Amino acid sequence: MPPSSRPLDGLVWPLVPNSKKAGDRSTTWANKQALAAAIGAVDPALAQRVLDERNWRQKYTKYVYKHVEACLQSKEAAVASSKAGLEWVHNNFEFVREGKSMKLAAAMSSITGSFETAVIKGTKPKPTETVLQVPYKDEILTGNALEDQVDKWVSYGTIEPSAGAAIKDVSQKGEWRDLSDRYFVLLGAGSAMGPLKLLLELGANIVAIDLDRPGIWQRLLGLAENSCGTMIFPLKAGKPQASLSSREELCAAAGANLLAHTPEILNWLKTVSPEKPLVVGSYAYLDGELHVRLSLAMDAIVKGLTESRRDVMPAYLCTPTDVHVIPSAAHDAAASQARSLGLVNLLCKLTGNLAMTLTSNVKPAVVGADGGSLYLVDGLVNKQGPNYALAKRMQHWRAVVARQEYRCKVSSNIAPSTATASVVSNRLFAMAYGGMHFFQPMEVFQQETSNAVMGALLLRDVADPATPSNPTLPLKNPLQLFSFGSFHGGVWRMAYTIDSIGTASVLAYLLVGLLSLLKYFLLAFVVGFAAMKAKDGENPLEALDGVKDSVLGLFKGEL
């Protein structure tokens, strides 16, 4: 963990025991310890290899993959591993309050503070009929047009058939879109990838948690008021809503910091609409080591709610850049892509140096203790780093424990690679995203599309009892929860792993840009040549019929 001049406060990384460095809170040490604890529940020898690994930053991905492999030995292995990983992080990460440090688990059980409750109701009437709308490529898709596009995504391999069927169900079943009696806790209510806008449009009751910054709450309350939904949110202790006479005072008192106020947020949520089932979505995101701390803070809240309230449904947006159990059909599709003779595939195979950087996406089946087999996809991207992997692994662990141990419904669908501002601010990532579509069936989506389709998948999980989110539906292994409803963007079904196509995608992006530049240089040359040949006052494009056709072809992208 990088040094900071600010005093420690809230949820922090654990101190490294017996370290020669004062205040050593190494993220590498904690990453290895957490994964080793999870693996150690099923494979102690592999856990020791994790602890002994010296080049963790470059080698962590292979251990995450082996961890998931080990969990596929049996249902019991998946549950035991998940519980062990969660137990380690909760009993070793620390919580600092007024200079005093304690373990996170102790803080969550001993700190008793809470918040006041405020409510803002939307001013729009509840619509008599709602329509699922999905923005896509400058269009708003609804009804038959939406279903046609979903079928195209399924046919191309960009999404799994179960995701396509779910989106079509939500589009067709109006009763699933009536959220007037549904309650959604949004941890990170204003998150770019969160479902806030969609839920408010459908009349939901939103229990909003976001930072205690007035500007954030001006925006959130504005969205709530301009909807037919309701927003419930925390106010600082001692500042009840009735005592605040203006919007400015209300926004100044609103909000809570997930890292600094973790116990108080849990205490408050235990009291909000206690008679209502809650869907608790973990949507907040920060970069780097903060991602781990933020994910753990949300997990502590989800843990406390699943243990203390009835009818709590954790909800997550899984990343496609992880290790997932996949349907055999997805495995077979990746194998088919690898055998295909498409232009990109041929170029990759004919270009020796490029081919050496590409890794097959087709993995052998993992055979469990009962002799049954399951397939995995290795979607890990090394450049995202071990902190990102640990943050996402904790969500998987909690989803497994909540579903198997507490019999909770769990929504944990996989979202596609999305061109959010935080991602494309990295120039290399932006260029890679710009070239990934050359690797069939990859597609990188815009944020508005991802928000809409992932919101629809959440609604399906909430409304439909016949989905794998429901613990009454038996699964061969708990990790199959992540196999259903996957809108992975093509990661599962392409010939090569997403980690290995990064360089090729950047090169493809740059090559297309170069060709476009050459096209306009050629256009300028042709126009200049035509002008030289044209008579006085004559349109240069009419001087040479052949030249005109070529120019128009360039404009239309035909050359």
Let me know the angle formed at the C-alpha of 62 by 335 and 65, rounded to the nearest 5 degrees.
65
Percentage helix, strand, coil, to 5, in the chain? 50, 15, 35
pLDDT category of residue 558 using cuts at 50, 70 and 90: very low
Structure tokens at 226: 């301009």
For residue 173, give Cα distances in angstroms to 2, 129, 177, 453, 466: 50, 11, 7, 15, 15
* pLDDT score, position 8: 85
- pLDDT at position 517 is 67
Q: What digits encode the pLDDT tens for the residues 479-515?
A: 999 999 999 999 999 999 999 988 888 877 777 667 6
- What is the average per-residue pLDDT within 402-415? 97
> What is the rounded distance in angstroms from the CA atom of residue 116 to the CA atom of residue 405?
32
Task: Tell me the pLDDT tens digit for each residue of 88-137.
Answer: 999 999 999 999 999 999 999 999 999 999 999 999 999 988 999 999 99
**Each residue of 338-361: pLDDT tens digit?**
888 676 776 776 665 455 678 999
Q: pLDDT at position 354, please?
A: 56
pTM of the model: 0.90
- Beta strand 411-414 with 373-378 is unpaired
Calpha distance 44→48 (Å, rounded): 6
pLDDT in tens, 277-334: 999 999 999 999 999 999 999 999 999 999 999 899 999 999 999 999 999 999 999 9
From residue 421, alpha-carbon distances to 426, 427, 429, 446, 484 in Å are: 9, 11, 11, 10, 28
Mean pLDDT computed over 359-365: 94
Largest separation between any pair of C-alpha atoms in the chain: 90
Contact 225, 256 (CB under 8 A): no
pLDDT at 355: 55
Beta bridge partners of 282: 187
Q: Which residues pair with 105 in a beta bridge?
A: none
> Which stretch of DSSP H or E encloses residue 153?
helix 143-156
Instruction: Give residues with Cβ within 8 angstroms of 98, minimum separation 6.
Output: none
365-374 exposure pattern, b = at least 16 Cβ within 10 A, e = fewer:
ebebeeeeeb
The answer to whether residue 546 scores a pLDDT higher than 60 is: no
Nearest by Cα to 224 from 312, 147, 124: 124
